[in-house]
Each structure stands twice: as C-alpha cells, then as structure tokens.
Amino acid sequence: MILRPRSAPSRHSKGKNVAKSLIAGTSPFFAAPRTSFRRASLPVLLAAALLMTACSKPVERAEEIRPVKVVRIASGNLDSAAEFSGEVRPRYESRLGFRVGGKIAARKVDVGTVVKRGQVLMQLDPQDLQLAQAQAAAGLRAAETNRDLAKAELKRYQDLRDKNFVSQAVLESKETAFKAAQASYEQALAASRNQTNQSGYATLVADVDGVVTGLDAEVGQVVAAGTPVVRVAQTKEKEIVIGIPEDRVDALRAVSDVRVRTWARPNDVIPGKLRELSPVADAATRTFTAKIAVPNAPEDLRLGMTAYVSFAAKASGQAIRLPLSALYKDKSGSAVWVVEKDAVKLVPVQVAGSAGNDVLIAGGLAPGQTVVTAGVNLLKPGQKVKVLETAGGGSQQLADSGAGAAK
C-alpha cells in the first residue's frame, strides 16, 4: 500500500471553507457560546456577502438597436389638398303623387326598379272616379239636348218673324234662351272633359326615365291629392354631396381643381365641379353642404356610393410631404425622428397642413434627410437604429412632391 502525501488546500478552497465555517459557527475564532455567536454572526455574514459581491465581475448589457422604416425626403411645390367624404346622389329626384285622392289598389314597382317615361307606378281604386265620369257624361248629353231644342225653336221663331207673325221681343227672348242653352252645353262639356282627366289620374306613371329610390305609401292606404307616394331619380346627372367645415369654406370656394374618387374604385379619378355651396350651416352637423357636379359620370357610378372629393391648389412656397405616421407629438409640439450616423434625434417641425394620408411640413427639415416613418413612439434621443430595406433593396425614396398631389 502506497501512501501519498496529502496536498495542501488551495487558496480559493481555503476561502470557501472559511466562509462555510463562519456560517456554521464552527470557526476557531468563535469559541464563545452559541448566544454570543448569534449576536456577532449578522455583521460577519454581511461582510462576507459584500466581499463575495465585490469579487464578481459586472454583466455588460448590450445596447438595443431598434429596426425602423425610413423615408428620404425631397422638396418641391406641393399641391395643398383637402379631402372630404360624401355620397353619390341624383341631381334631380322627383316625389311623385296622385293628382286625385283615393285608395291605392296596386303597386307596380319596387325600390331600385329602373323605369321608363310613361311606365305605370301605382293605381288607385277607379270606381268612384268612373261614377263621377258617368255623371258628367249624362249632364253633357242633357245640356246638348237642351241646346238643340233651343236652337230649333229659335229657327222657327225667326221664320215667324220674317212673316210678321210674332213680335221682335218674342224673337229676342228665344235668342236669349238659345245662348243660355249653348253656355250650359259648353259648361257640361268642360266638366265632362275634366272628369275624364280625373279618371286618368287614378294611374300614376313616371314622367321621366330613372330609377325608383323610395316608396312612401303601400297598397290599401288612402292618400290625399298631391301626397308623395313614389320617389324617382334621374340617372343622367349625378352629384356628390359633402359637408365642409366652416374654417375651410372661403378657401375652397375659389378652388377650381376638384377631383372625385369612389371607395369601390379609389384609383379612378373623375373630374368634378363645385356646383352649389350652402350659405347656411347644417343644424345637426354644423358643416356647410356642398354639391359637386359630375358632368360625365361613368355608368358604374351608382347612387348611394361612398365618394371622396379632393380640392387641390398650388401652394405658394416650398414644403415637404411626409407620411402621417412619421409625425411625433410631445408637449413642445410636433417633431420627427431624423436618422444620423445610425442614431436618431428629435427635430421640431412646423406643420403646414395635410394632403390625404400625408402631412405637409413647412419648416424644420431639409431635403436629403432621412426620417423615421414607423415606430416613432418607441424611440428615444440618441438610440441606435437599423434601417429596414424595402422590397427594392434600399430605403424608400420620397417621390417629388409635385407628383404626389391629391388625385
């Protein structure tokens, strides 16, 4: 059996043993009773903990680099634009009603029905009107008979007067009776024609080509003369109805470049014209109603569609156009994050207005600077960033602002 000399404990392990003995209270330095050890153990433990902490190396935190989307700005003469949403409506819409009163017996159309001029829309119960027409016809025949009798009698008395068998006064009385009978006949004839027209009014027909946009009465309902029962809109001329805020009325009144787009076809631009601007604000919305005429409206521009009206006018000075998401709001005002040497800094800007989904910057930036367009609320001054590349392999280049006008 070979006996190997026992190796001396290392300095590191010796320190660990001392710490363990301090915690367990078995160190020869603590030969005092257990009660004394408890009193003195707390400071010693704290000193040992501080000693171990001082020996450990601090953990280095990696600086956070946040990926961002940017745009390189360019300057130019901008088209300042204002855009409002509205509804496609007909310029002419008629509220049709019966010219006589009565009970509705039939309805021939529904909402959305395309009608032609002269097409039957509704009918009244014609029974009472037919009876009145028969009464007027009977009165006309009676008046005609009385007129013929008075005419024949006047002829006889004229012959007798020529033979000097009757006096002139008798002849004049017969002439008066004939004139009265003639007037009664003409009165009965006019009443008969009027009643014939009344009977024809029991049928409501379309007076123009168009489409039915509403029904205000149903079968079985008794309506008075002139009560609207059907709404028919002409489809040839259409317009867009929008509401303009009171602070933009004067500025937009003189704008001649008006463009219309629909929600269904946002890329198709239709030229428009401001036809009417109400002088009084709407009581509910507090906006001024404007009607934009569309002279050459395409066939797919249907009534009731949502439309967007843009007013475009050349700006007087230079401006920079940025996406609305690039704007950062703080207590001091509006600002944007500018990327310089892979870090961002906050630059205050002056906002000139808006153009669709973009914002117009009047001051604070210069052409060629790179502005963050996404995640502006997650940045802080001096933070390192990484520019995300677009599908084309580089950062987005802002097109010339003159070409980016509202369409």
**Domain boundary residue among 274, 293, 313?**
313
Strand partners, 66: 385
Mean pLDDT calculated for residue range 87-111: 94
Same domain, residue pair 185 and 220: no
**Domain boundary residue among 313, 347, 380?**
313
Burial of 153 (0-12, 13-18, 19+ CB in 10 A): middle
Same domain, residue pair 154 and 215: no
pLDDT in tens, 333-368: 888 989 988 888 888 988 877 666 777 787 888 888
What local confidence, expressed as pLDDT, does residue 404 receive?
Answer: 35
Task: Quickly state the pLDDT bin for 294 (edges 50, 70, 90).
Answer: very high
Same domain, residue pair 131 and 182: yes
Q: Select from 398, 383, 396 the least CA-distant residue to 341.
A: 383
Alpha-carbon 70 to chain mean position: 31
Alpha-carbon 339 to chain mean position: 37
Same domain, residue pair 120 and 219: yes
Q: Are 156 and 177 in contact (CB under 8 A)?
A: no
Residue scoring higher pLDDT (313 or 180): 180
Same domain, residue pair 322 and 400: yes
Mean pLDDT calculated for residue range 193-212: 93
Whether 163 is covered by a domain: the verdict is yes
Residue 143 has pLDDT above 90, yes or no: yes
Whether 340 is covered by a domain: the verdict is yes
Whether 2 is covered by a domain: the verdict is no
Taking CA atoms, 108 is separated from 81, 105, 129, 223, 373, in Å, by 47, 10, 20, 17, 58
- What is the domain-level CATH number for residue 293? 2.40.30.170
Mean pLDDT calculated for residue range 162-191: 94
Tell me the residue range of the domain where 216 lies.
95-124+204-231
Place of tokens 């009581």: 283
What local confidence, expressed as pLDDT, does residue 362 receive?
Answer: 78
Same domain, residue pair 165 and 226: no
Q: 3-state DSSP call for residue 224?
A: coil
pTM of the shown model: 0.56
Mean pLDDT calculated for residue range 136-143: 95
Whether 7 is covered by a domain: the verdict is no
Same domain, residue pair 340 and 395: yes
Taking CA atoms, 34 is separated from 18, 43, 159, in Å, by 18, 15, 168
- What is the domain-level CATH number for residue 208? 2.40.50.100
Residue 52 has pLDDT above 80, yes or no: no
Q: Select from 392, 354, 347, 355 the least CA-distant residue to 372.
A: 347
Same domain, residue pair 274 and 259: yes
Mean pLDDT of the chain: 81
Burial of 164 (0-12, 13-18, 19+ CB in 10 A): exposed
Q: Select from 197, 199, 206 the least CA-distant residue to 229.
A: 206
Q: 3-state DSSP call for residue 36?
A: helix
Dihedral in degrees, nearest 10, Cα atoms 179, 182, 187, 190? -140
What local confidence, expressed as pLDDT, does residue 317 receive?
Answer: 55
Same domain, residue pair 115 and 130: no
- What is the domain-level CATH number for residue 396? 2.40.420.20
Whether 6 is covered by a domain: the verdict is no
What's the structural domain count of the chain? 5
Same domain, residue pair 134 and 35: no
Same domain, residue pair 42 and 112: no
Distance CA 65, CA 130 (A): 91
Same domain, residue pair 131 and 150: yes
Whether 360 is covered by a domain: the verdict is yes
